[in-house]
Amino acid sequence: MAIPTEKQPDTGIRQAVSHPLDPLTAEEIVEAANILKSQRRLGSRVRFETIVLREPGKPDVLSFQPGNSIRRDAFLVVLDNEEEATYEAVVSLNEGRVTDWNKVPGVQPRIMFDEFFECETLVRANPDFRAALAKRGISDPDLVMVDPWSAGYYGFADEEGRRLALTRNFLRSSPTDNGYARPIEGLSALVDLNKMEVMRIDDYGVVPLPPNPGNYAAEFVGEFRQDLKPLEITQPEGPSFTVDGHSVAWQKWHLRIGFTPREGLVLYNVGYEDQGRVRPILYRAALSDMVVPYGDPSKDHYRKNAFDAGEYGIGSLTNSLTLGCDCLGEIHYFDADLNTGRGGSFTIPNAVCMHEEDYGILWKHTDWRTGQVEVRRSRRLVISSIATVGNYEYGFFWYFYQDGTIQLEIKLTGIINTAGIAEGETPRHGTLVAPQLNAHVHQHFFNFRLDMSVDGEANTVLEVNTVAEPLGPDNPHGNAFYAEATPLKTEQEAQRVIDPMSGRYWLVSNPSVKNALGRPVGYKLMPGENILPFAHPGASIIQRAGFMTRHLWVTPYAPDELSATGPYPNQHPGGAGLPEYTRNDRKVENTDVVLWYTLGYHHVPRPEDWPISPVGYCGFSLKPVGFFDTNPVLDVPPSAHHNGACHA
């Protein structure tokens, strides 16, 4: 996780921008903040939550040609701690002026990086907090880890209108010790982040600290296994991809890389070159939000529901990736320039990693009569980023395959959230992972916004289920079954859940473009492992994260509908985002459609997940269905081996 440090540009000259979707540069971020500070006379207690590119309209992007003039607008969200108010602004960097400035009542922006540090310092110094520590035999507050969590919304009168964080606290035995091994159970602080003051200390009673350390770092392991031989990945002629700024081309794939502090990695203008032209598939794809609901109802654990994108900003918490550790092979990195809370800029070096991987067999057949063997090896392009959100790590890996498949895989690792438990007690809502150490049952829900453009903007979504033919004249032997496609015509019809027993998938079709067989071209969304939430329909978390209740949502494109939870989920009472977008049941047939796919990862912790979790996986795929006239990878050349090529 990058620690922001203020950076000012060396000169007033901005870096070259070659495309309307290029992210704001470090110079542009600072310039936008300075223009706003000057023209709106902002005070000293203003924090900048967001400074990002205000993306141009689709027509301007799709019609852009190299050499055209490029309009650069910045979108800003600012929090005035003095007024306890939130504002949105648009700054024209071309004109050097503020073109829009609006107060947004009743919302709380994301909790910013500098607020985490200030909150921890504040709580550690609080006399009541120190007294509660002393009651537990903790004499050195500097060894206490204070993790500020979003407080959620529960309708408590004393919390209305206040900007809050609820801290969870842990004790290190030394500065590099894993503090999550010793949760300070039953002690939390509620902090007003606008005033930066402790509202109250909640002490639910002393629970002894778990006795065992939970260290995993190399300095604590000591002896490592000795039987691992070197594995070298080399590309002596370099990688097969080409990069021009934020534009990438690889094996007939063309796309652009973007990055925002809330979403992290963004993909634009994804297309596949076929028969002499690049055919569009996706206009924009990114994580829209995610939430981690926990299942323990006791003390203040019921408030553990973190929206890691909408409340913290998954992009701001992105790691700098390291060759040979996070990424292996011939790597190209993309840096990310983001804003600090005070309107400066900072850079996350190597925020996005791109490389090629061998992926086994692409296709193969042996003709047993002639003995002829034809086999091709598969290669995929990997574009990835990894974020650290407190105790957890999330890796987001986009895979592009030679056959036109796109796959999104999430890799979950890091340290499970822990709670203390009395000796001899068996937890009901968690797992004992070490003596007196409880890891609560929880879930991770992710929603991805997929702005589809399958050979153009006018698309229709169909649900495809496999159906058993009833016994009768058309099925006398009882063996018949077929795939049945049903158009999803409105937003309400298009709120769907997975059904693996029917082989359910969703097909995005372009009725106006036909393949060689006279059928509409399409791409299908293939679900992977998934689940629904277990929280009661009336629970606060279901109201605030309504997207969890459906695996598929479909909406007509709207430029201001970017998040499944709405623009300001922090402390929002609920109903925003997809439930609100789809309320009017707009038509989604033969139009510019956006797919919102929700995937859930269900985690009942195991002792093997402690002290650090091996990677867990979840994801989905987009696969061509009649998009090509035939197998698009017949032209992949045979691979060479020591006796010649991989065919006989």
Which positions are catalytic?
308, 392
Closest by alpha carbon to 85, among 64, 62, 102? 102
**493 vs 554: CA distance, rounded Å:** 9
For residues 453 and 280, is the Cβ–Cβ distance under 8 A?
yes
Q: Is the dihedral of CA 580, 586, 589, 594 positive or negative?
A: negative
| Contact yes or no for 550/527 (Cβ under 8 A) | no
- Please tell me the distance from the alpha carbon of residue 645 to that of residue 640, in angstroms, as a whole number: 4
Spatial distance between the Cα atoms of 101 and 38, rounded to a whole number of angstroms? 13
CB within 8 Å of 345: residues ≥ 6 apart? 6, 7, 8, 9, 26, 27, 29, 30, 337, 338, 339
E strands, 476-527, are: 481-487, 505-514, 520-527
Longest Cα–Cα distance of the chain, Å, equals 85
Cβ neighbour number for residue 629 with a 10 Å cutoff? 12
Q: Cα separation of 396 and 448, whole Å? A: 11
Q: Which two tokens stand for residue 54?
A: 């205000």
Buried b (16+ CB within 10 A) or exposed e, 72-108: bbbbbbbbbbeeebbbbbbbbbeeeebeeeeeeeebb
How many angstroms separate the first and last alpha carbons of the chain?
A: 50
d(CA 387, CA 264): 9
**Element housing 46 (H / E):** strand 46-53
Measured CA to CA, the distance from residue 364 to residue 235 in angstroms comes to 24
Listed residue (499, 554, 547, 555) closest to 527, CA to CA: 499
Distance of CA 539 to the CA centre of its chain: 24
Tell me how far apart the alpha carbons of residues 391 and 148 are, in angstroms, rounded to a whole number. 12
Nearest to 295 by CA among 419, 429, 149, 427: 429
E-assigned strand segments in 264-414: 264-274, 277-293, 305-306, 332-339, 345-366, 373-389, 392-401, 406-414
* Single-letter code of the amino acid located at 393: E
Measured between alpha carbons, how far is 488 from 477 in angstroms, rounded to an integer? 33
| Cβ-based burial of 634 (10 A; exposed 0-12, middle 13-18, buried ≥19) | exposed
The amino acid at 95:
E
- Joined together, the tokens standing for residue 259 give 């990055």
**What angle, rounded to 10 degrees, do the helices at 113-125 and 127-135 form?**
70
Scanning the structure block, which residue is given the tokens 């609901």?
293
